[in-house]
Structure 1
Amino acid sequence: MESEFWHNCWQQQRIGFHQQDIHPLLPIVFSQLNWQPSGAIFAPLCGKSLDLWWLSQHSKVIGAELSALACQQFYQDQAQSFAVSTQGQFQRFSHPAVDIWQGDYFDLKQEQLGDIGLIYDRAAFIALPLQMRIDYVKQLKYLCPGPVSLLLLSLEYPQEEMSGPPFSVTECAVRQLFDFAASVELLAIRNLTGRPFAQRQFKVSHLIEKAFWICW
């Protein structure tokens, strides 16, 4: 998916991928893992997800988002003040709890993020077609060389029944793309068949969401 596609989605407010509440698996997974912050939390391709505010209770959150409009709405929707500065190819939206680097995720550098202890990916991975997904994982490994943990939410459905995004990514594909990781653990499964995914209803024969805990 090219940058223009996502810019158009935000300009036209075609954001059915935006979840209007905290993701229900997020507090459950955190309570199971008893995760202790060892650095900031990184949220790539974060949009204006409310999950970032929830995560900020545990540690500083750093997001990466292509759309400046999404960044503005993230703070404005919660009546939060923020500062904006231009840093190279990026605009940096600054806030005591959540900062967002606005620009192309693939242009981010390690030094912009600093020490990351956890990566949270609700819908970035499944928003990308295969080659971009491969490049996304390579960039993630570069930005966060470890030790780091990734909470990844993925989606499975018969790909021939619907064209993405979101794309179907099987558990096998997840494990292959993260074959460099020390561990890939399946934490939870949600059967969303016949139920909405964020703000959209998909006409597919089955729809399964899976949460993975990946460490490297």
Structure 2
Amino acid sequence: MEKSFWLQKWQKNEIGFHNPEAHPLLVEHFPLLELPPGARLFLPLCGKTLDIHWLLAQGYRVAGAELSEMAVQQLFEELALTPEVTEEGALKHYRSEGLDIFVGDIFQLRHETLGPVDAIYDRAALVALPQPMRQQYAVHLQELTGTTPQLLISFDYDQSQLPGPPFCVDDEEVQRLYGAGYVLQLVDAVDVAGGLKGKVAALEKVWHLQPGTGEGNG
């Protein structure tokens, strides 16, 4: 997916993918991560999701990566926070107490820049990327975070009926992308109300990924 695609979406305010509240599946299944208060989560391709508001309100720290600087500026405005903005190589770093967002290409972000994280929450990143990029992304994400535990939300539907994004990432592909580094458990599968974009029946699936070797599934 071209960077310009997402930047134009934000520029034109075509952000139907932006949920107006914290994702119910995050709220329901977050306890699976068993994180202590103050733990730090990484949200790849985070936009200005209200999931960040919810996580901060629960007493967690959040790090994110986002291509659109406009989205990040709006996030801080909506949180009523004034960020400190610095340059980190090819990226910009928006920072305030408990919140770090790196603006730019996630593939330019490095482990030493991100710093340690205790878990990953991927609701909108993997499904936003076309198939050729997903393998590269999965490898990079594990290098970036040291294969830390992950809560992943995917979509499963007939891709021939809808071009995406969000793209279909079925169970087999999740296993292929992450099975070598994680033990995978499928913990929930929920029908998308009214169909995806109102056009095609789809399941939203919640995966709990725990560091380990060999392929596992739930």
> 1:4 Cα shift?
0.8
* Cα deviation, residue 67, structure 1: 0.6
Question: For residues 10 and 156 of structure 1, what CA distance do their matches in structure 2 show?
Answer: 25
Tell me, which stretches of 5 or more residues in structure 1 are unaligned? none
Q: CA deviation at 1:79?
A: 2.2
* CA contact 2:127–2:155 (8 Å) conserved in 1: yes
Q: What is the CA–CA distance in structure 2 between the aligned matches of 1:213 and 1:153, rounded to whole Å?
A: 9
Q: Distance in 1 between matches of 2:143 and 2:37?
A: 20
Q: Which amino acid aligns with 1:163?
A: P
2: CA distance, partners of 1:19 / 1:76 = 17
Greater shift after overlay, 174-183 or 119-128?
Answer: 174-183
SS in 1 for 2:118: strand
Map 1:1-216 to 2 at 5 A: 1-32=1-32, 34-36=34-36, 39-56=39-56, 57-146=58-147, 148-195=148-195, 201-204=197-200, 206-216=201-211
Q: Deviations over 1:130-157 (max 9, x none)?
A: 11111110110110124x1011000011
User: 1:100: Cα distance to partner?
Assistant: 0.2
Decide whether aligned partners of structure 1 residues 75 and 38 sit closer, same or farther in structure 2, where only a CA change above 3 A counts: closer
Question: What is the alpha-carbon distance in structure 1 between the residues aligned to residue 119 and residue 37 of structure 2?
Answer: 8
Higher relative contact order (CA 8 A, sep 6+): 1
1: CA distance, partners of 2:54 / 2:168: 27
Shift of 1:30: 2.1
Cα gap change, 1:90/1:30 in structure 2, threshold over 3 Å: closer, same or farther?
Answer: same
C-alpha displacement of 1:115:
1.1
Offset at 1:58?
A: 4.0
- CA deviations over 1:95-154 (Å, ceiling 9, x no partner): 1121100011001111011111100111111011111111110110110124x1011000
Is the CA contact (8 Å cut-off) linking 2:41 and 2:117 kept in structure 1? yes
TM-score scaled by structure 2? 0.91
Segment drifting more, 206-215 vs 75-84: 75-84
Aligned partner letter, 2:6:
W
Conservation of the 8 A alpha-carbon contact between 1:126 and 1:167: yes
CA distance in 2, matches of 1:63, 1:33: 18
Conserved? CA contact 2:33–2:150, under 8 Å? no
- 8 Å contact kept, 2:33–2:151: no
Identity of aligned residues (%): 39
| Aligned residues: CA RMSD | 1.6
Unaligned segments of structure 2, at least 5 residues? 212-218
- Quote the Cα distance in structure 1 between the aligned partners of 2:90 and 2:29: 35
Q: Secondary structure at the match of 1:76?
A: helix
Answer whether contact 1:190 1:208 (CA < 8 A) is retained: yes
Whether the 8 Å CA contact 1:39–1:115 is kept in 2: the answer is no
Range that drifts further, 98-107 or 71-80: 71-80
Higher mean C-alpha displacement, 55-64 vs 98-107: 55-64
TM-score (normalizing by structure 1):
0.91
CA distance in 2: counterparts of 1:181 and 1:72, whole angstroms: 34
Letter in 2 for 1:4: S
